[in-house]
A and B are shown apart, each in its own frame.
Chain A
Amino acid sequence: MDWLAAGLPADGADSAAPEVADATSAVARFRLDDNTQTIAQRLRESGEDWAAIVDEGGVLLGRVRLEDTDGPGTTAGCVMQSGPSTYRPNVPLDELLDRMRDKGFVRAFVTDPEGKLLGLITREHIEALLTNRSGIAAAPGRS
């Protein structure tokens, strides 16, 4: 459903299961003509590894990793990796976790159906969230 894929409010049996939207975090955003040294500084300050490159409408164009910013300063567009894998906010977390483990990746961008960046999701965050939820479900006194 388009509405769900955009991460908008929903009810129903499926809405109780944790989804990508529940574990999506903010990510540093830059434009194509931003300088890589600026990006590197921001990433180091925030302790992040990835920056998202977006257009004026917030549509994801690609990613720049901290390691891509080594060397002389240039623009994000010159070092950006285009077309990163993206996931919709309504994908069940356990399904994405299986996929991440199978493919061996640890983070991915989250976008709406129009490609607009919503944030970043990490395997570490998913595992922590699912572990926490299963602990709550197993706690005494809860059915």
Chain B
Amino acid sequence: MPEVIGRTDVQRLLTEDRAQVVEVLPAEEYEQAHIAGAVNIPLRDLNADSATQLDRERPVIVYCNDFT
């Protein structure tokens, strides 16, 4: 189930569980700057096919802008 987490949990998951980070921002924004090691699957391209590049055995962290 998806769960909202903060930076501390992201760092913990990356270190302890070899989590995968997916940035769903547009490619232009990703190319400018992104979390180290993150892959880019823009939200409009996120589907079953594009998700096959992810390892189902490891946690997936999805990053997007948060305007709250």
Contacts and interface: CB of A to CB of B under 8 A. Distances in A.
Interface of A: 1-4, 6, 8-15, 90
Contacts of B30: 12
Contacts of A4: 33
B34 A10 contact: yes
Nearest to A112: B7
A10 B32 CA distance: 10
26 contacts: A1-B33, A1-B65, A2-B7, A2-B66, A3-B10, A3-B35, A3-B63, A4-B33, A8-B7, A8-B11, A9-B35, A10-B33, A10-B35, A11-B35, A11-B36, A11-B37, A11-B38, A12-B31, A12-B32, A12-B33, A13-B31, A13-B32, A13-B33, A14-B32, A14-B33, A15-B33
Interface of B: 7, 10-11, 30-38, 63, 65-66
A1 B66 CA distance: 9
Contacts of A90: 33
Contacts of B7: 2-3, 6, 8
Contacts of B34: 10-12
Contacts of B31: 12-13
Contact of A10 (B10, B11, B36, B66): B36
A2 B32 CA distance: 14
Contacts of B32: 12-14
